[in-house]
A and B are shown apart, each in its own frame.
Chain A
Amino acid sequence: MTNQTVFRPATAPVSPSPKHDQPNVVARFFANQTAVLIIVLIGMVVLFALINPAFFSIGVFGNILVDWAPIALIAIGETFVVISGGIDLSVGSTITISGVVAAFAMQAMTTAGVSDALSIVVGAVVSLLVGLLVGLVNAVLINEAKLVPFIATLATLGAGAGMALVLTKGGPVGGGPPTAINLSVPVLGPFSYPVIVVIVLAVIAGAFLHRARFGRYTFAIGGNQFSAVASGISVKRHILKVYLLSGGLAGLAGMVTYLTLASGSPSSGLGDELNAIAAVVIGGVSLTGGVGRMSGTIIGSLILTTVTSGLIVSNIDPNWNQVVVAILIAAAVTLQTLRGATHRRKS
């Protein structure tokens, strides 16, 4: 990444002199990825509602948010990781393994007659701890074993998925708190408790990324690691924190998935790492690091699950999902490249 983007959020208006930009309103609009994403999202909702009016309902929005909650959690973590110049492929299997381990814990507690509420709280703590453990392993592999993040997290992706299969012997893990499923029922319009928790976490994470030192360090390391070191940032310690954050959020996503399915499953996070990466890329985070906004990631992940529900409700072959997501990714990256070109011309 070029140095110019360090410390500068991607969507900050690039306007050395407003006079020059005046005639180019369209270009300025497209430079604001968040605005474009909101338009795309609204356009999709309108389109799907035209195909099947049933789409425009609290019920469908509830379905979209249920799917969105775990993907948003891992995408938030992925945003920090990618902006810091890394990548975390292990989030999908972290959802699986944390959900499975929590499922066993809750199964044991329910069998022992522990109350549902306590079992669920313990389940959430267990899933968080499993996620943090995966994050720790990732950070050690990257910081100490000097593996590039892609390889380090590819290793933990495989190990996590394999261990989940070994632990469960391939089958679902049921027998947990019988009332756990009630938590994924919407309580306020389309919002269920896990969804509300995820929204709160997203706001906090956004503040951390854009308003706190933690975020400034993340942008600095991703923008240029050498100058980050030169300016006195402990890169290793920050990388550790970033992967712990990503792992912990993926662990919580495992618990959210458990609540959705009312059981653990050795394949519940299958392919979710790609959903997380798709969400951050559509949201305007640059895979080369140093650029991105939390709002982009949140809307990006919302677009992903809107497409999923929209295609199902429209009764369109769900295999189109992958095609639509591919087009969105290509469009988002093209937009970024065009904007980069504008940057360079202007500076």
Chain B
Amino acid sequence: MVQHVNRIVAATAVSLSLALVASGCSSGASEPSSTGSSAAAQKPLTITLVVGSSSDPFFQAMKQGATQEAQAEGNVTVKYQGDATTYSPATQIPIVNQILAQSPDGLMLAPTDPVALQASVTRAAASKIPVVLVDSKVNDLSKVTSFITGDNQDGGAKAADALATALGYASGKTYQVAVGLTSATATTNTDRLAGFKAQLAAKYPGIQIVTTGYSQANPKTANSNINNWLTAYPDLAGIFAIDGTNAQGAAAALQAKGLVGKVKLIGYDAYKTNVDLLRQGVFTALVSQQPAEEGKQAVQTLTKYIRSGGSSDGIQAAVTLPNIILTKDTSADDLTKATYVESAS
């Protein structure tokens, strides 16, 4: 009896996996058929996108943008790779080296470290594989075809604008705000803070940063910081939660203390949880990057560069994409469009 059941289970498992393989094949096969006839004449290209952590919705949105552009270009395939969860050069370098050994036609890379990934970029250039960097960079950009990124300083400045708008800023009045960071060394954090401070100094001198704190990548620590700020600074008018852990900690603190809406909360990145909290009014505004656009432009640039035989005509060495501000007044359509993809793939 037991054996019999086992056999049924095994048979089911086998047929299921066969079905999965079959469906995988058919969907794979259907993709090229959608390409235009003019593009069919072009040599097929394989472009590999190597990201920081492949499960991060930010990078998944980038992948989606890249894949859509590849279909539009015709006969271009985008492969997506990266460590599943860890944003670290130690796990990224072996992946990049593995990709380079397979000689793709082009490489899109989001380097996890400006120094550690330099050698990989140099190696790609030596093997005549064109490289476009996305989101982050290496120190020496001379071997890179193009570098496409969001602007963290601009994001910080736009956060200041959004905060001033939310506060109904009037010159002559003073407002106390706090900034939650992850660490003193994360460059995305420090760039955003620099942009935020510069904009306050230039346009909103009445807004004072009374305190800053570090979450050490732990939302509970961020929560503890913000709980205590809310108690120690009863006149606190706004909080700039500079990244995901601070957003999570700040949102919970405002909810627990019944200060939602009273203390203006500006967050960063259009992760689904953040956008949901924006809809509920916990966030006053979100600064959103455009990862899909980064992916799209990177594929465009690489395809153009490769198909022109390596000509740099009309290719910008550095592209900085502006950030978008999302608020409760943003249309539902635009909110959905801006939300970073969250999928299992």
Contacts of A319 in B (CB 8 A): 214
* CB contact under 8 A between A172 and B56, given known A312-B224, A312-B225: no
Within 8 A of B (CB), among A143-190: 165-166, 169-172, 174-175, 181-182, 184-185
Chain A residues, Cβ within 8 Å of B211: 312, 315
Q: For window 54-68 of chain A, which residues contact chain B by CB distance below 8 Å?
A: 54-55, 57, 59-60, 62-63, 66-67
**Complex: how many Å from CA A270 to CA B214?**
14
Task: Produce 1/0 per residue, B256-288, CB < 8 A to A.
Answer: 111000000000000101001100000000000
In contact, A60 and B273 (Cβ under 8 angstroms) = no
The 8 Å CB contact of A166, one of B57, B84, B214, B249, is B84
Query: With a CB–CB cut-off of 8 A, which chain B residues contact A57?
Result: 231
B127: Cβ under 8 A from any A Cβ: no
Are A261 and B249 interface neighbours, CB within 8 A?
A: yes
B residues 225-258 near A (Cβ < 8 Å) are 225, 227-232, 234, 244-245, 248-249, 251-252, 255-258
**Is A268 positioned at the interface, with any CB of B under 8 Å from its CB?**
yes
> Number of contact residues on A: which range applies?
35 or more
B244 and A172 form a contact (CB under 8 A): yes
Q: How far is the CB of B134 from chain A (nearest CB, A)?
A: 19
Contact A66 B85, CB 8 Å, known A185-B256, A260-B220, A312-B213: no
CB of A185, distance to nearest CB on chain B (Å): 5
**Does A257 lie at the interface of the complex (its beta carbon under 8 Å from any beta carbon of B)?**
yes
By the criterion CB–CB under 8 Å, are A309 and B224 in contact?
A: yes
Which partner residue on chain A sits nearest B271 by CB separation? Answer: A171
Is the C-beta of B149 less than 8 angstroms from some C-beta in chain A?
no
Q: Are A59 and B231 in contact (CB under 8 A)?
A: yes
Is there an interface contact between A63 and B231, defined as CB atoms closer than 8 Å? yes
B-chain residues with CB within 8 Å of residue A261 when the two chains form the complex: 219-220, 223, 248-249, 252
The distance from the CB of A287 to the nearest CB of chain B, in whole angstroms, is 25
Q: Which of chain B's residues have a CB closer than 8 A to the CB of A309?
A: 224, 228
Chain B residues positioned under 8 Å from A340 (CB to CB): none
Number of chain B interface residues as a range: 35 or more
CB <8 Å contact, A172 and B248: yes
Contact with A along B49-85 (1 / 0, CB 8 A): 0000101110000000000000000000000000011
Shortest Cβ gap from A9 to chain B (Å): 32
B218: Cβ under 8 A from any A Cβ: yes
Q: Known A260-B252, A261-B248, A312-B232; judge A166-B220 contact (CB<8 A).
A: no
Tell whether B201 is near chain A: CB-to-CB under 8 Å.
Answer: no
Contact residues of B between 207 and 223, Cβ < 8 Å to A: 210-211, 213-214, 216-220, 223
Report how far A132 CA is from B256 CA in the complex, Å: 29
Give A304 Cβ to nearest chain B Cβ, in Å.
Answer: 11
Query: Are B229's CB and A312's CB within 8 A?
Result: yes
Most buried by B among A66, A184, A267: A267
Contact pick for B218, options A52, A182, A268, CB 8 Å: A268
Interface string of A53-94 (1 = CB under 8 A from B): 011010110110011001000000000000000000000000
**Which residue of chain A is the closest to B258 with respect to CB atoms?**
A185
Residues of B within 8 A of A313 (CB): 228, 231-232
User: Are the CB atoms of A60 and B244 closer together than 8 Å?
Assistant: no
Smallest CB gap from A166: residue in B: B85
Q: Interface readout for B84-99 with A: 1 if CB under 8 Å, 0 if not?
A: 1110000000000000
CB contacts (< 8 Å) of B342 on chain A: these are 171
A238 to chain B minimum Cβ distance, whole angstroms, is 32
- B53 — which chain A residues lie within 8 A by C-beta? 170
Residues of A contacting B229 with CB < 8 Å? 312
**A contact residues around B258 at 8 Å (CB):** 185
Distance of A343 Cα from B311 Cα, bound (Å) = 83
| A13 within 8 A of partner (CB) | no
User: A63-B231, A313-B231 are contacts. A267–B217 as well, Cβ < 8 Å?
Assistant: yes
A43 within 8 Å of B by Cβ? no
Query: Does the CB pair A171–B216 fall under 8 Å?
Result: no
Report B's interface with A, CB cutoff 8 A.
53, 55-57, 84-86, 210-211, 213-214, 216-220, 223-225, 227-232, 234, 244-245, 248-249, 251-252, 255-258, 271, 273, 276-277, 342
Q: Would you mind naming 13 contact pairs between A and B with Cβ atoms under 8 Å apart?
A: A67-B224, A170-B53, A170-B56, A172-B244, A181-B255, A185-B257, A261-B219, A263-B219, A267-B219, A268-B220, A308-B224, A312-B229, A319-B214
Which 6 A-B pairs rank lowest in CB-CB distance, beginning with the nearest?
A169-B55, A59-B231, A312-B228, A165-B85, A313-B232, A63-B227
Given A265-B248, A312-B211, 14 more pairs with CB closer than 8 A: A62-B231, A66-B224, A166-B85, A169-B84, A171-B273, A181-B255, A257-B220, A263-B273, A265-B218, A270-B217, A309-B224, A312-B213, A312-B224, A319-B214
